Chain A
Amino acid sequence: MFVSKSMTRKVISIDKEAGIFEAQEKMAANHVRHLPVVDKNNHLIGIVTDRDIRSALPYSLFREPSSQRDKEKISDLRVKDIMTENPATISLTYTIQDALLLIQKLRVGALPVVDEEGTLKGIISVRDLLRAFINVLGIGEPGTLLGILVEEKVGQLKKIVDAITEENISFGSVLVARYWDEDKRAVFPYLLTQNVAHVKRKLEKMGYHLLDPMEWYLDQLPKNE
């Protein structure tokens, strides 16, 4: 799960001397919101985002500059005037998890990926991470999600996986999430089948509690306030 496998390799980058309208057009044409700024050796020196451009323009001018004079004034602005210099970067050996945590921590939309010399190798965006996680969840393939409540002790997951495997059912993914009872865990196997009624009955017979689907919390636990 290294970023090198999930990042965009053909990076749309820009020169620091480029005008900001050029940067804006480049973003629009390529449907990106981040342009790494590189020198002639493809070394990363900065990053410019659609938000940087928006902040540099009065709103009325952002859409359509009114007069020629305004337009000229703004077109004097260069990428180097508005870019973030020495932006946060990650290396090719970062994992997807690293990127996920760092993007959340820094509140950025994308991270340039560079090698040891600082040469731009790729960029990983929130969009790339979403794609990776759709793959991890297995939801690109047809299947059925189960929610099982288990006590937190060693060997529970094995029993569940074994019971399902015995029915010749393949897994798209298995997620384990915290539950609001501290000694419980919620297990979410995504099973690549439509035929789940039998395996659900089997798990219940084994003593597992199937969660009410309306009480599945993948993202966060309900707050006790």
Chain B
Amino acid sequence: MRRTGFLFDERYLLHETGSYHPEVPERLNAIYAGISQAGLLEKLTLIKARRAELKWIETVHDRNYINRFNQACTSGQKVFDHPDNQMCGHTYETALLAVGGILDAVDKVMNGTLDNIFCAVRPPGHHAETSAAMGFCYFNNVAIAARYLQNRWNIKKVGIIDFDVHHGNGTQHIFEQDPSVFYYSIHQHPSFAYPGTGREFEYGKGAGQGYTKNSPMLPGQGDEEYKAQIKNTLLVDFEKFEPEVILVSAGFDAHVDDDMSDINLSTQWFTWMIKNIMKMADSYCNGRLISVLEGGYSLKRLPELARNHVEVLLGG
């Protein structure tokens, strides 16, 4: 059995998004319930949130943007940058705690305290751009973790795998010119889904050309098409790239029962996926894998999806 961490903190529930919003605190309760009811908590190392130092957030976001976000939050604004980004007085603090918890998780994986970890954080991050909040995201958690791996741990090659049903525009844009970070995303085709980026012909720019890969999937596609696509793209690309650490943008919204998409993945696909990611982590990264929650809105399915996810991480 592996030493698997579970980042969870009740303070992640404090970010409230108002009515008719799918990105709700109950998502984390569902995840926690799924893991605890399966008796997995005693096998996991529970990690609590901590506040991120601004200097690490500034490796991705403009200082001006960070200040703007802080001020919007403390002045009681209910929306930041776009009506999608509903917030409350705790949102800025919660976002800082999400990043801080993830950076702590990175430290624990890098110094060998843990083999891998699942970070059940809110708010999510992969849509957040350098200086704009987007699609329920404020700080780009995974992008900051990648920069932290480079700057604090001197990692030369970071692999990011994003299987959220929406394209991680923020993460792509932050690293599209950087050949030391490979960003792979599989998502519903942008002509049919938010945010409208992540087409096949977006494959990186300048020195980063070839280090961004997008697999847009058509509405109605499911396990079979996703598996074939992963085998033909991600597995081949990462064999060539040989990342030293893998970061996962784990979104569970491509599930057939999640109404945020028209993709029809079964619960089993997500298990298959994380197993394949584990195999890559073992082959190239000494097992080092940090999985970070993005989307996933089906309160009915999140318990089993989270349970299976950490079971695989534990080596089950």
Contact = CB atoms under 8 A, between A and B. Distances in A.
B112 interface: no
A142 B83 contact: no
B219 A213 contact: yes
A195 B21 CA distance: 7
B197 interface: yes
Contact of A145 (B127, B192, B220, B260): B192
A205 to B, nearest CB: 13
B194 to A, nearest CB: 4
B93 interface: no
B218 A195 contact: no
A194 B196 contact: no
Interface in A138-194: 139, 141-145, 167-170, 192-194
Nearest to B135: A194
Nearest to A202: B20
A144 B134 CA distance: 13
B252 interface: no
A169 B83 contact: yes
30 contacts: A139-B196, A142-B134, A142-B135, A142-B197, A143-B195, A145-B191, A167-B20, A168-B83, A169-B83, A192-B82, A193-B83, A193-B84, A193-B194, A194-B127, A194-B135, A194-B166, A194-B194, A194-B260, A195-B20, A195-B84, A196-B194, A196-B260, A197-B259, A197-B297, A212-B219, A213-B218, A213-B262, A214-B218, A214-B219, A214-B220
B193 interface: yes
Contacts of A170: 83
Contacts of A141: 196
A198 interface: yes
B222 interface: no
Nearest to A167: B20
The secondary structure that dominates the B interface is loop
A200 interface: yes
Interface in B83-138: 83-84, 127, 134-136
Interface of B: 20-22, 82-84, 127, 134-136, 166, 169, 191-197, 218-220, 259-260, 262, 297
A214 B191 CA distance: 11
Contacts of B260: 194, 196-197
Contacts of A196: 194, 260
Given A168-B83, A200-B259, A213-B262, A194 B195 contact: yes
Contacts of B20: 167, 195, 198
B194 A143 contact: yes
A139 to B, nearest CB: 6
B192 A194 contact: no
Interface of A: 139, 141-145, 167-170, 192-198, 200-201, 212-214
Given A139-B191, A142-B194, A193-B83, 12 more contacts: A142-B195, A145-B192, A192-B82, A194-B194, A197-B22, A198-B20, A198-B22, A201-B259, A213-B192, A213-B219, A214-B219, A214-B220
A72 to B, nearest CB: 42
A142 B218 contact: no
Q: From A169, A195, A201, A212, name the one whose CB has the most chain B CB atoms within 10 angstroms.
A: A195
A169 to B, nearest CB: 7
A169 B303 CA distance: 31
B83 A194 contact: no
A141 B84 CA distance: 14
A195 to B, nearest CB: 5
Contact of B169 (A139, A142, A168, A197): A142
A145 B195 CA distance: 10
A193 B85 CA distance: 10
B57 to A, nearest CB: 22
A215 to B, nearest CB: 10
A102 to B, nearest CB: 28
